[in-house]
């Protein structure tokens, strides 16, 4: 084993598992699950091993397309950034795959599910390891595919069928910009390799700052789609139609973070395009605030967490644009992966315990029925809300500090968001676990099996400690900003306390939601706007064009010349030409005749 081959084994194991499950999985449920979990475990072990090795000086590459200026290898980058991401992705994947054994044990489509998970792991690792933009784009699209497969797991349900389609299409809208951005960067520098773009490539744009800014904003569109930033965030809450482990792994911990990872990968380029950084900061800041507002009024346990994910991803995007190093956002990505994954798995445990009820107003008093799940949720919730000595406190406050220094308006907006985060998190916890049981199922809820609870325990430990300085310093090199306002940290603590207290006062004993803000509950009406646009602008326009194609283009450009030709043929019919074979024969003969006349006239 060497550091040269290990990344290839990590990458190819899940692909091999996916193919094998596709071919043989339908014959045996344990085989499907075993292959998927085995491939993730191999990746996990090798990733941790790779993490403690020094970076290799060279890497293996295979030419995929090599033509003139267009050099697209399939190769791997092993550096600090990708090693951290490898560890996060493979570790969480192993835990979630294992948890799935319990969650999916009674579900149909077992092999399809595990094949999808293995395909996802392969694609995600491809993004992490990619050493050039096109390779990243390839795997970027493939995670889109695996997300489509997994969201659509319950494809017989109309809602799931619509959600997976929407997720794929919205991501393609983002990829539209992403691919164009790649074209811009390549046209400007002649290379697609990250190593060259982030070093010598930047100099090519010294005289064209606007060009570079346009390129960076277009590339950022990829992040907007994949990391569900506004205005392309609508697919992520709907993706909750997938099985809960999928929501946990793809739509909270890893896949949606790929957009942030990509920004971190090209951070030196972004740094030299301040105008693009401003766009990124505003998108991130507004997303972070607006999604938190929407989260406060949702009733579905998974959708609350989905809006929370969007909001937290907004923090990371804002962090990229504010901090002097991408490690600040990567640090939050790291802690968020653990505590958000944990929260989703807890939600999954609750949902299983509640016989697939997801409305928090049908739950209540689960604290005693599901004590492990309660404690784990509490750990995750405190981390998310930014309680001191929990992981989120360290990473989120760091981003906020940088934002307050470099983008004061967005920074203070994100401070307010921190209070909202504490509020909606504890709204969820109080309504689900405290109070009185609000339905029959809630009275008879039960704790989940060990195969589900053990991953919860491990993740809960990680959610608490992942932000401690002794861990952070091993994975990242983060810097504190200078000139942080002294009031910032006290304000954050007060807002945390106010959020929890406010949630307790409003929701501690509530039987139904005492607050009703339709504007937030209806997701700022953005989904409605899009539905209207799809129905009337896209489909209406398409119907008009289709009508025009039938009655205008076809009539004038095809029918009329055809009829004229046919009329000529009709005249010729009087010359004893009746059937198609003869027609063609004479046509051919005519060709020769015309040729003959033209040459020897």
Partner 1 sequence: MSLISPLLFLILVPLVAAGFIMLGLHARKTALVAAIANLVFTGVLLFNYSIATGGYQFESSMPMPVIAGLGIFFTLGADGLSLLLLLLTAIVTLAAVVVTRTPEKNGSWFYACLLFISAGGMGAFASIDLFFFYMFHELALIPTFLLIGIWGTGDRQAAAWKATIYLALGSFILLLGLIGLFLMQPDGMRTFDLRQIILMSENGYLPQGHWVYLLLLLGFGILVSLFPFHTWAPQAYASAPPPAAMLHAGVLKKFGLYGLLRIAAPIFPESIAAFSNLLLIALVGNILYVGYVTIAQRKLDTMLGYSSVMHMGYIFLGFAAMTNLSLTGAALMLFAHGLSIAALFALSGELRERTGTLDFAELGGLGKQMPKFGLLFGFAAFAAIGLPGFVGFAGELLIFFGSFVAGVPTMMSIEGREIFRLNNFQIATFCAVWGVVISAVYMLRAYRKIFFGPMNDRWAGLSDIAGSPRFAIVSLIVIMLLTGFLPQLLIKLIQTASI
Question: Phi and psi of 54, rounded to 5°?
Answer: -70, 155
Q: What's the rounded Cα separation, in Å, for the pair 220 and 273?
A: 12
Which residue's CB is nearer to partner 1, number 161 or number 286?
A: 161
Which residue's CB is nearer to partner 1, number 2 or number 158?
A: 158
Number of other residues whose CB lies within 10 A of the CB of residue 567: 10
Kindly state the smallest distance separating residue 30's Cβ from partner 1, in Å. 20
Q: What's the rounded Cα separation, in Å, for the pair 579 and 573?
A: 9
Kindly state the smallest distance separating residue 28's Cβ from partner 1, in Å. 17
**Interface segment toward partner 1; rule CB under 8 A; list 67-75, 193-201, 251-259, 288-296:** 67-75
Best CA proximity match to 268, nearest among 210, 197, 317 = 197
CA-to-CA dists, residue 584 to 53, 135, 299, 577, 587, angstroms: 74, 51, 71, 10, 5
Tokens of 385: 């809300």
Kindly state the smallest distance separating residue 158's Cβ from partner 1, in Å. 5
Among 55, 440, 511, 554, binds partner 1 (CB under 8 A): 554
Which residue's CB is nearer to partner 1, number 203 or number 591?
A: 591
Q: Does 594 bind partner 1 (CB under 8 A)?
A: yes
Q: Does 67 bind partner 1 (CB under 8 A)?
A: yes
Instruction: Identify residues 122-181 at the interface with partner 1 (CB under 8 A).
Output: 134, 137-139, 141-142, 145, 148, 152, 155-158, 160-162, 165, 168-169, 172-173, 175-176, 179-180
Instruction: Identify residues 239-298 at the interface with partner 1 (CB under 8 A).
Output: none
Which residue's CB is nearer to partner 1, number 473 or number 559?
A: 559
Among 529, 553, 572, 589, binds partner 1 (CB under 8 A): 553
CA-to-CA dists, residue 353 to 185, 366, 373, 436, angstroms: 51, 9, 10, 16
Instruction: Identify residues 196-235 at the interface with partner 1 (CB under 8 A).
Output: 207-211, 214
Q: Does 545 bind partner 1 (CB under 8 A)?
A: yes
Number of other residues whose CB lies within 10 A of the CB of residue 63: 11
Residue corresponding to tokens 């569900």: 228
**Interface segment toward partner 1; rule CB under 8 A; list 372-380, 387-395, 459-467, 590-598:** 590-598
Residue corresponding to tokens 């910032």: 488
- State the distance between the two ends of the chain, measured CA to CA, in whole angstroms: 80
Q: Does 68 bind partner 1 (CB under 8 A)?
A: yes
Kindly state the smallest distance separating residue 160's Cβ from partner 1, in Å. 8
Q: Give 585's contacts (C-beta < 8 A, 6+ positions apart).
A: none
Whether the bond into 231 is cis, omega within 30 of 0: yes
Count interface residues toward partner 1 (CB under 8 A): 74
Tokens of 143: 């995670």
Kindly state the smallest distance separating residue 141's Cβ from partner 1, in Å. 5
Which residue's CB is nearer to partner 1, number 409 or number 570?
A: 570
Q: Does 107 bind partner 1 (CB under 8 A)?
A: no
**Interface segment toward partner 1; rule CB under 8 A; list 279-287, 293-301, 326-334, 549-557:** 549-557
Instruction: Identify residues 372-411 at the interface with partner 1 (CB under 8 A).
Output: none
Among 1, 23, 60, 187, binds partner 1 (CB under 8 A): 187
**Interface segment toward partner 1; rule CB under 8 A; list 282-290, 314-322, 435-443, 547-555:** 547-555
Which residue's CB is nearer to partner 1, number 388 or number 569?
A: 569
Residue corresponding to tokens 């929890």: 500
> What is the dihedral angle through the alpha carbons of 243, 249, 254, 258, rounded to the nearest 10 degrees?
-20
Bridge partners of residue 61, in order along the sequence = 75
Please work out, in degrees rounded to the nearest 5, the angle formed at the alpha carbon of residue 119 by the alpha carbons of 258 and 20.
160
Q: Does 541 bind partner 1 (CB under 8 A)?
A: yes
Q: Give 276's contacts (C-beta < 8 A, 6+ positions apart).
A: 212, 213, 216, 217, 220, 270
Kindly state the smallest distance separating residue 588's Cβ from partner 1, in Å. 7
Helix (H) or strand (E) holding 66: strand 61-67
Which residue's CB is nearer to partner 1, number 274 or number 588?
A: 588
Tokens of 286: 């507004």
**Interface segment toward partner 1; rule CB under 8 A; list 65-73, 227-235, 285-293, 411-419:** 65-73
What binding mask, one character per residue, do residues 69-98 give for partner 1 by CB under 8 A, x or -?
A: xx----------------------------
Q: What's the rounded Cα separation, in Å, for the pair 379 and 388?
A: 12
**Interface segment toward partner 1; rule CB under 8 A; list 42-50, 240-248, 495-503, 536-544:** 536-544
Q: What's the rounded Cα separation, in Å, for the pair 455 and 345?
A: 9
Tokens of 95: 């835990």
Among 487, 533, 539, 572, binds partner 1 (CB under 8 A): 539
Which residue's CB is nearer to partner 1, number 49 or number 547?
A: 547
Kindly state the smallest distance separating residue 487's Cβ from partner 1, in Å. 42
**Interface segment toward partner 1; rule CB under 8 A; list 246-254, 286-294, 346-354, 561-569:** 561-569
Q: Answer whether 247's CB lies under 8 Å from 240's CB.
A: yes
Q: Answer whether 425's CB lies under 8 Å from 496's CB.
A: no
Q: Give 232's contacts (C-beta < 8 A, 6+ positions apart).
A: 170, 171, 173, 174, 224, 225
Which residue's CB is nearer to partner 1, number 226 or number 332?
A: 226
């Amino acid at each position: 084993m060497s550091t040269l081959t290990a990344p290839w084994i990590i990458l190819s194991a899940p692909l091999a598992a996916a193919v094998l499950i596709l071919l043989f999985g339908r014959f045996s449920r344990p085989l499907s699950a075993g292959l998927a979990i085995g491939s993730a475990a191999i990746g996990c072990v090798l990733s941790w091993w790779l993490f403690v090795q020094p970076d290799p000086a060279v890497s293996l590459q295979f030419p995929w397309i090599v033509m003139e200026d267009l050099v697209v290898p399939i190769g791997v980058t092993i550096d600090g950034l990708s090693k951290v991401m490898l560890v996060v992705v493979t570790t969480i994947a192993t835990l979630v795959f294992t948890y799935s054994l319990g969650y999916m044990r009674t579900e149909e489509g077992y092999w399809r599910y595990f094949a999808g998970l293995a395909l996802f792991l392969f694609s995600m690792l491809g993004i992490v390891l990619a050493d050039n933009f096109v390779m990243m784009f390839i795997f970027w699209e493939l995670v889109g595919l695996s997300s489509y497969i997994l969201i659509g797991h319950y494809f017989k349900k109309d809602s799931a069928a619509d959600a997976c389609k929407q997720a794929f299409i919205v991501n393609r809208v983002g990829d539209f910009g992403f691919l164009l951005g790649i074209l811009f960067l390549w046209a400007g520098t002649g290379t697609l390799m990250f190593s060259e773009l982030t070093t010598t490539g930047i100099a090519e744009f010294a005289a064209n700052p606007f060009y570079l800014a346009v390129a960076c904003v277009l590339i950022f569109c990829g992040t907007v789609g994949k990391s569900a930033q506004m205005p392309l965030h609508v697919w992520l809450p709907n993706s909750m139609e997938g099985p809960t482990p999928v929501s946990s792994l793809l739509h909270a911990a890893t896949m949606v973070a790929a957009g942030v990872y990509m920004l971190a990968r090209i951070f030196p380029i972004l740094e030299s395009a301040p105008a693009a950084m401003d766009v990124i900061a505003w998108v991130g800041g507004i997303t972070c605030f607006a999604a938190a507002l929407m989260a406060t009024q949702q009733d579905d346990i998974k959708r609350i967490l989905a809006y929370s994910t969007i909001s937290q991803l907004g923090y990371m995007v804002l962090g990229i644009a504010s901090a002097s190093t991408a490690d600040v956002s990567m640090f939050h990505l790291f802690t968020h992966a653990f505590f958000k994954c944990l929260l989703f798995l807890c939600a999954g445990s609750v949902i299983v315990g509640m016989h697939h009820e997801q409305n928090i107003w049908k739950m209540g008093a689960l604290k005693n029925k599901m004590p492990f799940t309660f404690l784990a949720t509490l750990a995750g919730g405190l981390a998310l809300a930014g309680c001191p000595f929990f992981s989120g406190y360290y990473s989120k406050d760091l981003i906020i500090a940088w934002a307050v220094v470099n983008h004061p308006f967005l920074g203070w907006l994100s401070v307010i968001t921190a209070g909202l985060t504490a509020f909606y998190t504890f709204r969820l916890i109080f309504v689900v676990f405290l109070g009185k049981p609000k339905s029959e199922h809630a009275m008879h809820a039960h704790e989940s099996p060990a195969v589900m609870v053990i991953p919860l325990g491990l993740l809960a430990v990680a959610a608490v400690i992942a932000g401690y300085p002794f861990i952070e310093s091993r994975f990242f090199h983060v810097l504190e900003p200078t000139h942080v306002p002294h009031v910032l940290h006290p304000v954050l603590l007060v807002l945390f306390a106010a959020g929890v207290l406010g949630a307790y006062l409003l929701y501690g004993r509530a039987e139904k939601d005492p607050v009703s803000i339709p504007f937030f509950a209806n997701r700022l009406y953005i989904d409605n706007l899009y539905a209207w646009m799809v129905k009337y602008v896209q489909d209406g326009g398409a119907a008009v064009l289709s009508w025009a194609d039938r009655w205008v283009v076809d009539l004038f450009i095809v029918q009329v010349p055809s009829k004229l030709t046919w009329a000529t043929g009709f005249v010729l019919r009087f010359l004893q030409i009746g059937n198609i074979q003869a027609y063609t024969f004479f046509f051919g003969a005519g060709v020769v005749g015309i040729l003959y006349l033209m040459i020897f006239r």
